[in-house]
Amino acid sequence: MKKEAQLFKSLADETRLRIIWLLMAKEELCVCDIMGVLGITQSKASRHLRYLYHLGWVTDRRAGVWMNYRLSVSPGSPEDKQLKLLADILKSRPEAQELREHLEQWLAAKGQDKEGAAACQCR
Amino acid sequence: MKKEAQLFKSLADETRLRIIWLLMAKEELCVCDIMGVLGITQSKASRHLRYLYHLGWVTDRRAGVWMNYRLSVSPGSPEDKQLKLLADILKSRPEAQELREHLEQWLAAKGQDKEGAAACQCR
DNA sequence: AACTAATAACCGGATAACCGGATATTGTCA
DNA sequence: TGACAATATCCGGTTATCCGGTTATTAGTT
pLDDT tens-digit map of B20-58: 999 999 999 999 999 999 999 999 999 999 999 999 999
Nearest Cα to Cα of residue B11 among A10, A17, A14, A86 = A10
**What distances in angstroms separate CA B78 from CA A8, A51, A92, B96, B100, one per listed residue?**
15, 26, 12, 23, 25
Q: How many domains does chain B divide into? A: 1
- Protein-covered nucleotides of chain D (CB closer than 7 Å) are 5-10, 17-22, 26-28
Q: Which domain holds residue B8?
A: 2-106
Q: Is the CB of residue A5 less than 8 Å away from at least one CB of chain B?
A: yes
Among the residue ranges A98-112, B61-75, B89-103, the one predicted with the least confidence is A98-112
Q: Give the model confidence (pLDDT) of A15-36 as tens digits.
A: 999 999 999 999 999 999 999 9
Q: Which residue has its C-alpha nearest to nucleotide C26's C1'?
A: B65
Q: Is the CB of residue A48 less than 8 Å away from at least one CB of chain B?
A: no
Residue A1 has pLDDT above 50, yes or no: yes
Using an 8 Å CB-CB cutoff, list chain A residues near B88. Answer: 78, 81
Residue A114 has pLDDT above 80, yes or no: no
Examine residue B32 and state whether it is found in any structural domain, yes or no. Answer: yes
Q: Give the model confidence (pLDDT) of A61-102 as tens digits.
A: 999 999 999 999 999 999 999 999 999 999 999 999 999 999
Examine residue B100 and state whether it is found in any structural domain, yes or no. Answer: yes
Spell out which residues of B between 37 and 76 contact strand C, using CB within 7 Å.
Answer: 40-44, 47-48, 51, 62, 64-65
Nucleotide with minimal C1' distance from the CA of B47 is D8
B29 beta partners: B69
Please state whether strand C lies within 7 Å of residue A30 at its CB atom. yes
Contact, B110 vs B33, CB < 8 A? yes
Examine residue A62 and state whether it is found in any structural domain, yes or no. Answer: yes
- Contacts with B76 (C-beta within 8 Å, 6 or more apart), sequence order: none
Q: Is the CB of residue B13 less than 8 Å away from at least one CB of chain A?
A: yes
Examine residue B121 and state whether it is found in any structural domain, yes or no. Answer: no
Examine residue A58 and state whether it is found in any structural domain, yes or no. Answer: yes
Nearest residue of A to residue B16, measured between CA atoms: A5
Residue A116 has pLDDT above 70, yes or no: no
Disruptive mutation site among B3, B4, B18 for chain A (greatest number of A CBs within 10 Å): B4
CB atoms within 10 A of CB A106: 17
Q: Could you tell me the pLDDT band of residue A5, with boundaries at 50, 70 and 90? A: very high
Examine residue A18 and state whether it is found in any structural domain, yes or no. Answer: yes
Examine residue A88 and state whether it is found in any structural domain, yes or no. Answer: yes
Predicted TM-score (pTM) of this structure: 0.92
Examine residue A13 and state whether it is found in any structural domain, yes or no. Answer: yes
Q: Is the CB of residue A1 less than 8 Å away from at least one CB of chain B?
A: yes
Nucleotide with minimal C1' distance from the CA of A31 is C7
Domain at A29, CATH number: 1.10.10.10
